[in-house]
Structures are given as structure tokens and as C-alpha cells.
Amino acid sequence: MKIFSAMYEWTMKAARHKHSSYYLSFMSFAESVFFPIPVDVMLAPMALARPKSAWYYAFLATVFSVIGGVIGYYLGYALFDSVVLPIVESVGYQDKLKTAESWFSEYGIWVIFIASFTPVPYKVFTITAGVMSMAFLPFVLVSFIGRGLRFFLVAGLMRWGGEAMEEKLKIYVDRIGWSVVAIIIIAVIILKM
């Protein structure tokens, strides 16, 4: 089945859309507050589709992600009990919040760097930073560094790969997609044992 080829073609078409930079900016902002899909899902194909704009896309993703992080911080700082806690409880994220709080207690500002650079849900840590009244300026600075490193790395790899990478992906995207599905299924089975 060529499901992944069709998804790949659709993604690359969307990445070339004239308003794609607006969508990327909104997604970068939203992902730092509430949206579950990582920005890289949109940034990578955009940088691959338009390699000359890769740095611009990374810049947009970084700036709007940090702005979203600031909103997340504010939600945790000023509106935790009235707005955030009911949502956290309704989606069953209490354990993630407790984990984030314990990591803050143990690692301090480094938690923000790790959350901003890795696939760990950044939004959980932006809100927790506000809840714990973390110093605001270091929070913003470290967020810029971590998010910038991540997004410029993704954009740089796509720019470096360019058309050759896009052509190779077209050939192997279904094999890669089904391999990832198989790995996820195997991992779930192993974890449930």
C-alpha cells in the first residue's frame, strides 16, 4: 500500500503553499501551549521544499515557539488554578505535571533547555516554569537557545539534503513509514508484557 507516498506528496504540496509560513508560525506558537503535534512535522518538509528559505522558516519556528512558551509560562504563573489545572485533570496529565515539577526541583533551568531541544513536550515545562515562578528572563533566554538549536538543526539538515534527499524520500517513504509502524507496534507489545 502506498499510504505514506500519498501523505508525503500531500505534505510537500502543503509545504509549498503560499501561506505555509503563516501556518508554521501559528503551529509553532500553538505547540508551545496546547497543540500535540511537534513543529518539526511542518518545518522539515517546508525546509526541504524550499531550501533557500530554510533559515527563515527556522527563525519563524523559533520566535513563535518562544512566544507560545511565554504564554504557557503566563498560564502557569497567573491562571494555573482557574484555567490550567482543570484542563490538566481532564486530560489526565497530573503525573506529567508532577514529573515536570520534580525535574525543575532537581535540575532547574536545564529542564527548559532539555524540553526545548528534545521531543519532550515543551508545553508541559513552559506551564510548569510559570507555576514554579521560575525567573522569567532566564526562561526566555534558554527557550530561545534550545528551540533555536533544534529548529535550525532540522532546517539545516533539510537544506543540506535538498533535492537529492527529497528524491530519495519519494522512493523510500513507504518502506520507512511501514518500518516505523512496525517498530511502534513491536514497542507497544514489548511494553505491555
Q: What is the pLDDT of residue 54?
A: 94
Residues with Cβ < 8 Å from 89, sequence gap 6 or more?
none
pLDDT digits (tens, 9 = 90+) for 131-166: 999 999 999 999 999 999 999 999 999 899 877 777
CB–CB of 77/130 below 8 Å?
A: yes
CB–CB of 4/174 below 8 Å?
A: yes
Q: Is the pTM of this model over 0.85?
A: no
State the Cα–Cα distance between residues 183 and 188, nearest whole angstrom.
9
pLDDT digits (tens, 9 = 90+) for 85-136: 898 888 887 888 888 888 888 888 999 999 999 888 888 889 989 999 999 9
Indicate the length of the chain as a whole number: 193
